[in-house]
Structure 1
Amino acid sequence: MNALTQDSKTVTKKTNVRYLILTILFITTAINYIDRSALSVVAPVMTKDLHLDAVSIGIAFSAFNWAYAFMQIPGGWMLDRFGARIVYGIGLIIWSLFTFFQGWVDGLVMLFVLRFIVGIAEAPSFPGNSRLTAMWFPQHERGKAVSIYNSAQYFGVALFTPVMAWLLQTHGWQMVFYVAGVAGIVVGLFWFKFVQEPNKHPRANQAEIDYINAGGGLANTGDKPIKIRWAHAKLLLTNRQMIGIYIAQFCLNTMLWFFLTWFPTYLVQEKHMSMLKVGFMASLPYAGAFIGGLVGGYLSDFLLKRGKSLTTARKTPIIIGFLLSSIIVLANYTSSAALIMLIMSVAFFAKGMAGATWTLVGDMSPKEIIGLSGGIFNTSGNIAGIVVPIIVGYILSATHSFNAALFFIGGVLLVGALCYIFVVNKIERIELPPELKEEEQPLLKVQA
């Protein structure tokens, strides 16, 4: 009898496959941002080899985001219709392949086209992350899960920026793209081996799925895909809560895209650092953001477990992060390299804290269209990736200084804080009206 009871406990003990999924999301997101940031690392040398001026390299920086931002909604639609495993996995291999090809560029047009294709392929990545964490994690674990994968973007850049700088100095800028591209293709093979949605994963047992569902997770979301229509997008785009987080995400990403594009050039031209030193110095703010992202996620879940409302738990680290990150403007008032790096690191730490914004996609979106909602959210955020590189390029061309650019970024961050204080109110899930819940035909279920 005791043996039978022990066997029963063994059978019903839940698996922890969700942590395997989170580990793969962490690695994939790190690769994602290494590929995005590679151009910024090589830009000071590449611009000389290819004879590109500040405006031209600003346009090249923005090429990724022209595609990435405007493919977010189609990318989110594909995630909801065909599933994250296929859409995200194919995108991972394609963007890595075209990162590799950037080692062959011989001018602005070719560079723009290749970066544009990388942007298309990466479009489903963060909506895919949001969809998978909402499906694999109960609500009380989701803040930490989102903070972990979201922090991977900073971890990857912090760890590998010195490596990319070393490759640049010893083997040339082409090798940076070759190494980054190959690394992504290898990770893509692991993705298809280990990633699945909960009910389809061979390693996840029913006890884990029940645990996810009981805690407010959406493990069964992929079971009944619905027809995605423009009416779904209209519902999201006319909701005050969603409008608030969309505008704020644009504001938050102004800082991110300054660091991903112009920051190494800022250190070389404004602070007269060598490229090898830039490789190490540029990694420090990313290390700060990595820690800040973890702090924001853990603080949010801690407040939730202490009985605070979901609204308080989610908005507190976000608002603190927005306000603190605006201190980036203080870098204009010192010439000390050490103090500048401290200011930048604290500002980017705060940006990492505010990155808990992604939890709201899983918390607030209609459960049937999380991919689409994440796509719209990320579209808003990454329009900043189009605007910021070009605006900074023009400011630099006109003033030969980054001072006005830092004031621009700090001011926009304050606008983001105001959105969360005055526009975004109670955090709760939006429900689809019955007329927008029409399910897909069985054939499309098989495809998903």
Structure 2
Amino acid sequence: MSISNTATPPKRKPTIVRWLIFILMLVLGAINYIDRTSLGIAMPFIQEEFGIHDERIVGLIHSAFFWSYALMQIPSGFLADRFKTRTIIAVATIIWGAFQAVGAACHQVLTLSLTRIGLGISEAPIMPAGAKLMGNWLTPNERGRGSMLLDGGAPLGTALGALLLTWLIGHFGSWRIAFIIAGVGTVVVGAMAWFFIRDKPSEHPSVNAEELTYIEEGINSAKTSSPSKTRLRDILPYLTQLNVLALIGGWACYSTVFYGLMVWVPAYLKTAHGFNVKEMGGAMTIMFLLCFVGQQLGGYIADKWRSAGTAPNKVFHVLLAISAIVSGGGVFLCANTSSPTMAVIFLTIALFPLRWASVYWSIPGLLGAQKMAGTITGTMNFCSNMTAAIVPILVGWMIHRTGSYYSAMMFFAFAAAGYLVCSMLINFNRPMVLKDPE
């Protein structure tokens, strides 16, 4: 007599491919900001070599990146909605790495500015494409952490860039070699992105059935409409909604604070507080590394708080209010201290919760607009980077006119107040109205 084996096989744990993809996006974001930060770190040496003595020229060089980056945001978001996200991310990364390396061959302000324009164009698709990936790979209750990973490369890359680039410049005695190494490293990671990232979980060979089911059930339970063909003009109905306008305004104000500090803090510490290159690199590393830690903490708190059943309005309004108030207060206190140590402490306090604004990337998907998430976030980033393009010029003029950084720091504190107001105007109980194309 035979006995058949009817035991149910043990249920497998879901794989974590979705998180590995967003860790890779974190790495890409960090490299993105290492390449951006390279100019700010190297600028004192570039000024000396190129004979630049006018801070307004420095502001123009910094702004070259942001003009091109901003102008490509809406087209990049549209591309993310229409074409394969994996291809867009890999190709963009490889091209921007090439522009970073070519910058090492420049000997004039014009040619250096042109490489920064190329860097801005090629970096532009990464964040809208990442927002699209987030909607396809993460459930609604995971998107707080996903947003922080997606956007966490900014403080992490700034911190690592300050450490790496100051070491490379000190070791080789050349900012040019530092640019080449950063560019080649970027190209290598771009190739890695092509081999690992897929547009959807169902396309990835390493996703098991349990993870696929978990993702699909989580996303399908939150869907409010069926997908349809995306057209660029479909963004127009969204631009009449207060939620979208507040999203755009808040991100522009936040970006003014973050990019203003990222671009000008190296020169501020050197000029206002007498830091040498090693002290400057060390301070930047501490400030932006803790900014990264604070960012990940914010994402964890947001997801856990929401999972406990707390209303989205309360979760996001409290977190964003803390972010804006602490950041603005820290910058204000920094502007009013003469102590180098206290300046670093106040800037660290300001930066720690500032990147909680990264939840902005998940808001279109959370409010039912996943079909247009790439285009909406591209529009959001376009407006913020147009602001970021103007800010270096404006700050350079302020410094040239006043002979100090005080007015610039107060300007950043004022922008933090704008970030607070716009964040409070976003109603997380009001879905974004979806307009299906006719």
TM-score (norm 1): 0.91
- Unmatched runs of 5 consecutive residues or more in structure 1: 439-448
What corresponds to 2:420 in structure 1? 417
What corresponds to 2:370 in structure 1? 367
Offset at 1:160?
Answer: 3.2
Offset at 1:256?
Answer: 1.4
Q: Which residues in structure 2 correspond to 1:328-347 (within 5 Å)?
A: 328-347=331-350
Give me the whole-angstrom Cα distance separating, in 1, the residues matched to 2:6 and 2:433: 47
Give me the whole-angstrom Cα distance separating, in 2, the residues matched to 1:233 and 1:275: 46
Q: Which residues in structure 2 correspond to 1:155-170 (within 5 Å)?
A: 155-170=156-171
Q: Do the aligned residues in 2 keep the contact of 1:80 with 1:225 (CA within 8 Å)?
A: no
Q: Do the aligned residues in 2 keep the contact of 1:366 with 1:430 (CA within 8 Å)?
A: yes
**Range with greater deviation from structure 2 (57-66 or 170-179):** 170-179
The CA RMSD measured in Å over matched residues stands at 2.0
Q: Do the aligned residues in 1 keep the contact of 2:368 with 2:434 (CA within 8 Å)?
A: no
What corresponds to 1:85 in structure 2? 86
Q: Do the aligned residues in 1 keep the contact of 2:251 with 2:357 (CA within 8 Å)?
A: no
3-state SS of paired residue (1:360): helix
Alignment counterpart, residue 315 of structure 1, candidates 310, 314, 317 = 317
3-state SS of paired residue (1:142): helix
Q: Do the aligned residues in 2 keep the contact of 1:322 with 1:413 (CA within 8 Å)?
A: yes
Q: Do the aligned residues in 1 keep the contact of 2:89 with 2:190 (CA within 8 Å)?
A: no
Q: Do the aligned residues in 2 keep the contact of 1:85 with 1:195 (CA within 8 Å)?
A: yes
Change in Cα spacing, 1:4 to 1:240, as seen in structure 2 (3 Å) is same
Give me the whole-angstrom Cα distance separating, in 1, the residues matched to 2:364 and 2:116: 27
What corresponds to 2:28 in structure 1? 28
Give me the whole-angstrom Cα distance separating, in 2, the residues matched to 1:26 and 1:4: 42
**Range with greater deviation from structure 2 (343-352 or 156-165):** 156-165
Offset at 1:290?
Answer: 0.6
What corresponds to 2:16 in structure 1? 16
Is 1:226 matched up with 2:265?
A: no
3-state SS of paired residue (1:6): coil
Give me the whole-angstrom Cα distance separating, in 1, the residues matched to 2:284 and 2:85: 32
Q: Do the aligned residues in 1 keep the contact of 2:101 with 2:182 (CA within 8 Å)?
A: yes
Offset at 1:365?
Answer: 5.4
What corresponds to 2:269 in structure 1? 267
What corresponds to 1:43 in structure 2? 43
Give me the whole-angstrom Cα distance separating, in 2, the residues matched to 1:179 and 1:427: 47
Give me the whole-angstrom Cα distance separating, in 1, the residues matched to 2:76 and 2:283: 35
Give me the whole-angstrom Cα distance separating, in 2, the residues matched to 1:2 and 1:73: 59
Offset at 1:416?
Answer: 1.4
Change in Cα spacing, 1:224 to 1:240, as seen in structure 2 (3 Å) is closer
Change in Cα spacing, 1:242 to 1:170, as seen in structure 2 (3 Å) is same
Q: Which residues in structure 2 correspond to 1:11-410 (within 5 Å)?
A: 13-52=13-52, 53-171=54-172, 172-197=174-199, 198-216=201-219, 226-230=229-233, 232-327=234-329, 328-364=331-367, 366-410=369-413
Offset at 1:243?
Answer: 0.2
Q: Do the aligned residues in 1 keep the contact of 2:147 with 2:362 (CA within 8 Å)?
A: yes
Give me the whole-angstrom Cα distance separating, in 2, the residues matched to 1:218 and 1:76: 25
Offset at 1:3?
Answer: 6.5
**Range with greater deviation from structure 2 (114-123 or 349-358):** 349-358
Give me the whole-angstrom Cα distance separating, in 1, the residues matched to 2:265 and 2:39: 11
Count matched residues.
430
Q: Do the aligned residues in 2 keep the contact of 1:99 with 1:118 (CA within 8 Å)?
A: yes
3-state SS of paired residue (2:43): helix
Code of the aligned partner of 1:271: H
Change in Cα spacing, 1:227 to 1:302, as seen in structure 2 (3 Å) is closer
Offset at 1:55?
Answer: 0.8
Change in Cα spacing, 1:219 to 1:404, as seen in structure 2 (3 Å) is same
**Range with greater deviation from structure 2 (202-211 or 137-146):** 202-211
Give me the whole-angstrom Cα distance separating, in 1, the residues matched to 2:385 and 2:368: 19
Offset at 1:427?
Answer: 4.3
3-state SS of paired residue (2:152): helix
**Range with greater deviation from structure 2 (389-398 or 139-148):** 139-148
Give me the whole-angstrom Cα distance separating, in 1, the residues matched to 2:374 and 2:335: 40
Code of the aligned partner of 1:151: G
**Range with greater deviation from structure 2 (242-251 or 370-379):** 370-379
- Unmatched runs of 5 consecutive residues or more in structure 2: none
Change in Cα spacing, 1:37 to 1:144, as seen in structure 2 (3 Å) is same
3-state SS of paired residue (1:79): helix
What corresponds to 1:426 in structure 2? 428
Offset at 1:398?
Answer: 0.6
Offset at 1:368?
Answer: 1.3
CA deviations 1:99-133 (Å, max 9, x no partner) are: 01111111111111110111011111111111111
Change in Cα spacing, 1:321 to 1:383, as seen in structure 2 (3 Å) is same
Code of the aligned partner of 1:146: S
Code of the aligned partner of 2:19: Y
**Range with greater deviation from structure 2 (57-66 or 364-373):** 364-373
Give me the whole-angstrom Cα distance separating, in 1, the residues matched to 2:223 and 2:137: 10
Q: Do the aligned residues in 1 keep the contact of 2:237 with 2:435 (CA within 8 Å)?
A: no
Offset at 1:203?
Answer: 1.7
Code of the aligned partner of 2:143: R
3-state SS of paired residue (1:216): helix
Q: Do the aligned residues in 1 keep the contact of 2:15 with 2:208 (CA within 8 Å)?
A: yes
Code of the aligned partner of 1:162: L
Q: Do the aligned residues in 2 keep the contact of 1:102 with 1:111 (CA within 8 Å)?
A: yes
Give me the whole-angstrom Cα distance separating, in 1, the residues matched to 2:22 and 2:205: 16
Q: Do the aligned residues in 2 keep the contact of 1:133 with 1:145 (CA within 8 Å)?
A: yes
3-state SS of paired residue (1:273): coil
Q: Do the aligned residues in 2 keep the contact of 1:296 with 1:355 (CA within 8 Å)?
A: no
Offset at 1:418?
Answer: 1.0
